[in-house]
């Protein structure tokens, strides 16, 4: 029997997931705490670099186990290594090798947290999966659809990474932190639990690269070697040598290893010719963005010319734009040109605080 | 009968169906150990008690050609046997190679595959669908070592160790048998089995945890003594083991009948619950081929760790695969070695019964299983409509 009061909560042992589990228990749910064991770089695992700090470390399992005992809920560590490797790590590597800049958190949400974990929750007789994401899920009676709204704690909002969620998934997801006004409110509740704040770097960019050295990671785990190639100007003139395309991302200025007479930025990556294209500040701006693998939440489809706001990266300001259908995907035309539109990253749409949907950026032009 | 027990600050009302993992101590074993724990014995008396205990073990196991060593667990005994064999081969003219099956316990395969054997050729014997090792044509007269379990801990299959030990011996190969899961389910006569080393463990037969027994052929015993750590033998545990072994041997027929009854009952019920439920290993009750107390079940829809969790939340202990350092269940290397895919191996779990297991307890576990399968059956019915 599927119990619609039973919920599986992904627990990292940190503040957010602990408070999420605690809140659900307080609301009367039957809560099961789960720590997802994910794939780790064998090199770092061997060097025992993964055992301290970070949400995927062994100490995180013990932290999660301890807070679950304090909350008074059962706790289990579950193995998601294979699915994580396949859908997140391999995608991450492929994306860089294609000259794009991946977003592994979005892939993890789509394939691991809200797919594999949701499937596991069903096996455990739970109706819901819950996480400590800062986002609000509502059911709109008028449209009969689930909607995602930005968190009331605006600076913590995590809706950007949730645009892929489908109606079928949303019916089974709870995010109890969405209505908290600030992280301080969450911390105040967390204060009663024995959470090891020390040694937990939640600012980590990518959980499977705890040392933040993604270039080192790619050279150990990638399929193709990092090959030296040319920096070229937008008109094709050779400007110098680069150290392998995976080291560069659109908009990057620092770390090019070559100095020019004026500030130069990465404006594109040409995988076929193994070239990194550089341009001046002007050249980093684009008005039109093409995206595919799109998903929309409050509706299935839109009319060409649909006006909304879009973020081209997690930290970007939402900017006014219009959406048009284009081949298999969409075309987004911004009112004001956007800086450093990066293929591989997500473009995410909002109507004020309502998350409309998003897609993967493939191309852009002036 | 199943009832709640208050132990220290812990309240336990678990139904325990993980007896191949460990077993609770029998009441008379506890009584024996308690009296030996709470009495002072001088060195001479202790020596005498241990000597008599060894003698009794030798009698019960038909092991007159063996010396008895006590270790802290079965894994330590396995480790010592492997290391002594390796040292002996290094000192001899024999070929540096070790045969082991693909379904050995972690304490065997991890040691064999570790640096300790890096100068050895490691020959892993493949097994068939029920765990029987397949012939290997490199078993010639050039020496080496071999280790083989008597009974597999996950599927209960009895390996043809008599035949294999003969084959290895005639090829001048040193032999070790890990008989941890055979003890108490099969009447052992080690003199006839003839392996050079045999491992046993006390806690699988309602003896104490923390006592392994390594039996070593007389002529090889001095080599074990050389590498044994210095320690005080846990004499009360040894006495507990002897008591547990005597109790089991006295009631072997009843034990086997009870286990066979439960296996038949469990499998019959499982087949009624869902036609796609499969038994891994020997399905029929046959004391020549498998230990009835171990039943490995493959489910449709559900992964083994889901069943372990679902049962745990209902106060029932079963097991799946082997736990890694984080406590995660990983797909069993044993089931994979039988030729099942990763996904198939993940859908397996183990029920292991004891003399204390009742039909009511089994029913409770099967009820949980039914509850967990129900939504998936419903989903399938809906999909078909």
Among A114-123, B216-225, B235-244, B329-338, the minimum mean pLDDT is found in: B329-338
Question: Superfamily assignment of A285-365 in CATH?
Answer: Translation factors (2.40.30.10)
Query: Looking at residues B106-122, what average pLDDT do you find?
Result: 95
pLDDT digits (tens, 9 = 90+) for A309-341: 999 999 889 999 999 999 999 999 999 999 999
Sign of the four-CA dihedral B138, B143, B144, B148 = positive
Range(s) of the domain holding residue B32: 27-250
* Single residue among B250, B281, B300 that ends a domain in this structure: B250
DSSP strand pairing (A346-351 vs A329-339): unpaired
Is 90 exceeded by the pLDDT of residue B239? Answer: yes
Sign of the four-CA dihedral A276, A278, A283, A284 = positive
Is 50 exceeded by the pLDDT of residue A4? Answer: yes
Decide if B306 touches A, using CB distance below 8 A: yes
Whole-complex ipTM:
0.85
Same domain for B71 and B187: yes
Question: What local confidence, expressed as pLDDT, does residue A199 receive?
Answer: 44
Contact A242, A230 (CB under 8 A): yes
Q: How far is A37 from chain B (nearest CA, A)?
A: 7
Is 50 exceeded by the pLDDT of residue A51? Answer: no
Average pLDDT value over all residues in chain B: 94
- Is A1 or B251 the better-scoring residue by pLDDT? B251
In a domain? residue B289? yes
Same domain for B77 and B207: yes
Is 60 exceeded by the pLDDT of residue A266? Answer: yes
Question: Superfamily assignment of A3-214 in CATH?
Answer: HUPs (3.40.50.620)
Q: Which residues of B touch A2 (CB under 8 A)?
A: 375
Total residue length of chain B:
385
CATH of residue B324's domain is: 3.90.1150.10
In a domain? residue B22? no
Same domain for B221 and B273: no
Is 70 exceeded by the pLDDT of residue A140? Answer: yes
Question: What local confidence, expressed as pLDDT, does residue B330 receive?
Answer: 78
Same domain for B243 and B331: no
% of chain B at pLDDT higher than 90: 86
Is 60 exceeded by the pLDDT of residue A80? Answer: yes
Is 60 exceeded by the pLDDT of residue B240? Answer: yes
Is 70 exceeded by the pLDDT of residue A125? Answer: yes
User: What is the spatial distance between Cα B129 and Cα B178, in angstroms, rounded to a whole number?
Assistant: 21
Same domain for B263 and B220: no
In a domain? residue B385? no
Other C-beta atoms within 10 Å of B200: how many? 31
Is 80 exceeded by the pLDDT of residue B337? Answer: yes
- Is A202 or A260 the better-scoring residue by pLDDT? A260
In a domain? residue B246? yes
User: What is the spatial distance between Cα B352 and Cα B45, in angstroms, rounded to a whole number?
Assistant: 39
In a domain? residue B136? yes
Among A47-61, B312-326, B328-342, B365-379, the minimum mean pLDDT is found in: A47-61
Same domain for B309 and B367: yes
Q: Which residues of A touch B371 (CB under 8 A)?
A: 1, 125
User: What is the spatial distance between Cα B200 and Cα B182, in angstroms, rounded to a whole number?
Assistant: 8
Same domain for B119 and B185: yes
User: What is the spatial distance between Cα A102 and Cα A94, in angstroms, rounded to a whole number?
Assistant: 9
Inter-CA distances, A263 with A56, A258, A278, B108, Å: 39, 11, 10, 62
B139 — pLDDT class (breaks 50, 70, 90) = confident
Same domain for B327 and B181: no
* Single residue among B220, B250, B280 that ends a domain in this structure: B250
Is 90 exceeded by the pLDDT of residue A8? Answer: yes
* Single residue among B219, B250, B281 that ends a domain in this structure: B250
pLDDT digits (tens, 9 = 90+) for A194-253: 776 544 555 567 888 888 888 889 989 988 778 899 999 999 899 999 988 988 989 898
Question: What local confidence, expressed as pLDDT, does residue B325 receive?
Answer: 58
Decide if B172 touches A, using CB distance below 8 A: no
Which of B318, B344, B375, B382 should we substitute to test contact with A (largest number of A Cβ atoms within 10 Å)? B375
Same domain for B197 and B102: yes
Same domain for B237 and B91: yes
Contact B106, B133 (CB under 8 A): no
Q: Which residues of B touch A37 (CB under 8 A)?
A: 324, 326, 328
Decide if A316 touches B, using CB distance below 8 A: no
Where does A225-279 sit in CATH, by number?
2.30.30.280
Quote the number of domains for chain B: 2
Same domain for B183 and B123: yes
Do A2 and B375 make contact, defined as CB atoms within 8 angstroms?
A: yes
Does A56 participate in catalysis according to the annotation? no
pLDDT digits (tens, 9 = 90+) for B157-175: 999 999 999 999 999 999 9
Residues 6+ apart with CB under 8 A from B294: B20, B151, B152, B153, B154, B155, B156, B181, B281, B350, B351, B352
Q: Which residues 43-82 of A have a C-beta within 8 angstroms of B?
A: 58, 61, 65, 74, 76-79, 82
Give the bridge partners for B197, in sequence order: B176, B216
In chain A, what are the domain boundaries?
Answer: 3-214, 225-279, 285-365
Query: Looking at residues B367-371, what average pLDDT do you find?
Result: 96
**Identified catalytic residue from A56, A68, A207, A321:** A207
Question: What local confidence, expressed as pLDDT, does residue A335 receive?
Answer: 97
Question: What local confidence, expressed as pLDDT, does residue B324 receive?
Answer: 60
CATH of residue B148's domain is: 3.40.640.10
Query: Looking at residues B184-197, what average pLDDT do you find?
Result: 97
Among A73-82, A225-234, B72-81, B353-362, the minimum mean pLDDT is found in: A225-234
Do A125 and B310 make contact, defined as CB atoms within 8 angstroms?
A: yes
Which of A74, A118, A123 should we substitute to test contact with B (largest number of B Cβ atoms within 10 Å)? A123
Same domain for B260 and B315: yes
**Identity of the residue in B326, B374, B375 whose CB atom sits nearest the CB atom of A77:** B326
- The continuous run of DSSP H or E covering B239 comes out as helix B235-250
A52 — pLDDT class (breaks 50, 70, 90) = very low
% of chain B at pLDDT higher than 70: 97
């Amino acid at each position: 029997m599927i119990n619609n009061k039973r919920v599986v909560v992904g627990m990292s042992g940190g503040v957010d997931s602990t408070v999420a589990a605690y809140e659900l228990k307080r609301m009367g749910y039957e809560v099961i705490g789960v720590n997802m064991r994910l794939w780790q770089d064998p090199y770092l695992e061997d060097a025992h670099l993964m055992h301290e700090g970070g949400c995927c470390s062994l100490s995180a399992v013990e932290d999660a186990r301890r807070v679950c005992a304090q909350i008074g809920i059962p706790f289990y560590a579950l193995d998601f290594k294979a699915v994580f490797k396949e859908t997140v790590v391999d995608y991450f590597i492929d994306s860089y090798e294609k000259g794009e800049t991946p977003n592994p958190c979005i892939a993890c949400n789509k394939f691991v947290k809200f797919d594999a974990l949701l499937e596991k929750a069903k096996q455990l007789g739970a109706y819901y999966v819950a996480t400590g994401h800062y986002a609000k899920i509502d059911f709109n009676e008028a449209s009969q659809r689930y909607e995602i709204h930005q968190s009331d704690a605006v600076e913590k909002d995590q809706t950007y990474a949730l645009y892929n969620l489908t109606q079928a998934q949303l019916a089974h997801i709870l995010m109890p932190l969405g209505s908290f006004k600030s992280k301080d409110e969450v911390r105040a509740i967390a204060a009663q639990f024995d959470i090891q704040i020390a040694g937990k770097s939640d600012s980590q960019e990518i959980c499977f690269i705890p040392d933040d050295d993604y270039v080192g990671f790619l050279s150990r785990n990638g399929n193709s070697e990092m090959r030296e190639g040319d920096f070229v100007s937008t008109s094709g003139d050779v400007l110098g040598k680069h150290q392998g395309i995976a080291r560069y991302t659109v908009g990057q200025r620092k770390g090019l290893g070559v100095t020019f007479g004026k500030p130069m930025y990465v404006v594109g990556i040409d995988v076929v010719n193994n070239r990194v294209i550089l341009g001046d500040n002007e050249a980093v701006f684009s008005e039109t963005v093409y995206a595919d693998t799109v998903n929309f939440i409050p509706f299935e489809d839109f009319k060409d010319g649909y006006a909304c706001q879009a973020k081209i990266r997690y930290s970007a300001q939402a900017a006014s734009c219009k959406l048009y259908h284009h081949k298999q995907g969409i075309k987004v035309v911004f009112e004001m040109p956007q800086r450093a539109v990066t293929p591989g990253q997500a473009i995410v749409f909002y109507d004020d605080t309502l998350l409309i949907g998003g897609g993967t950026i493939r191309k852009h032009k002036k | 009968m199943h009832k709640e027990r208050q132990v220290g600050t812990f309240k336990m009302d678990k139904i325990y169906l993980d007896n191949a993992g460990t077993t609770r101590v029998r009441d008379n074993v506890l009584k024996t150990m308690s009296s030996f724990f709470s009495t002072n014995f001088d060195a001479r008396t202790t020596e005498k008690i241990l000597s008599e205990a060894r003698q009794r073990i030798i009698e019960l196991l038909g092991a007159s050609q063996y010396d008895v060593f006590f270790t802290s667990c079965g894994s330590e005994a396995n480790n010592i046997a492997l290391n002594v064999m390796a040292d002996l081969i290094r000192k001899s003219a024999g070929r540096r190679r070790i045969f082991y099956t693909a379904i050995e316990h972690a304490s065997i395969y991890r040691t064999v595959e570790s640096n300790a054997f890096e100068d050895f050729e490691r020959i892993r014997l493949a097994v068939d669908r029920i765990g029987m090792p397949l012939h290997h044509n490199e078993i010639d007269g050039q020496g080496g070592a071999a280790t083989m379990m008597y009974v597999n801990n996950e599927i209960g299959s009895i390996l043809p160790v008599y035949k294999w030990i003969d084959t290895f011996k005639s090829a001048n190969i040193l032999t070790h048998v890990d008989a941890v899961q055979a003890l108490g389910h099969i009447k052992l006569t080690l003199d006839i089995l003839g392996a050079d080393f045999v491992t046993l463990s006390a806690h699988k037969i309602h003896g104490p945890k923390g006592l392994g027994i390594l039996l070593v052929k007389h002529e090889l015993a001095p080599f074990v003594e050389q590498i044994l750590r210095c320690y005080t033998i846990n004499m009360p545990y040894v006495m507990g083991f002897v008591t547990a072994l005597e109790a089991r041997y006295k009631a072997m027929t009843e034990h086997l009948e009870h286990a066979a009854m439960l296996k038949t009952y469990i499998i019959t019920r499982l087949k009624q619950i869902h036609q796609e439920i499969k038994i891994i290993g020997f399905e029929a009750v046959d004391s020549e081929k498998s230990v009835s107390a171990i039943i490995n079940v493959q489910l449709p829809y559900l992964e083994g760790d889901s069943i372990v969790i679902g049962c745990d939340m209902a106060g029932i202990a079963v097991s799946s695969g082997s736990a890694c350092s984080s406590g995660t269940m990983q797909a069993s290397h044993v089931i994979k070695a039988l030729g099942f895919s990763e996904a198939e191996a993940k859908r397996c779990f183990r029920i292991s019964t004891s003399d204390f297991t009742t039909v009511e307890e089994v029913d409770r576990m099967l009820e949980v299983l039914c509850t967990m399968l129900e939504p998936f059956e419903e989903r399938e019915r809906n999909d078909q409509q």
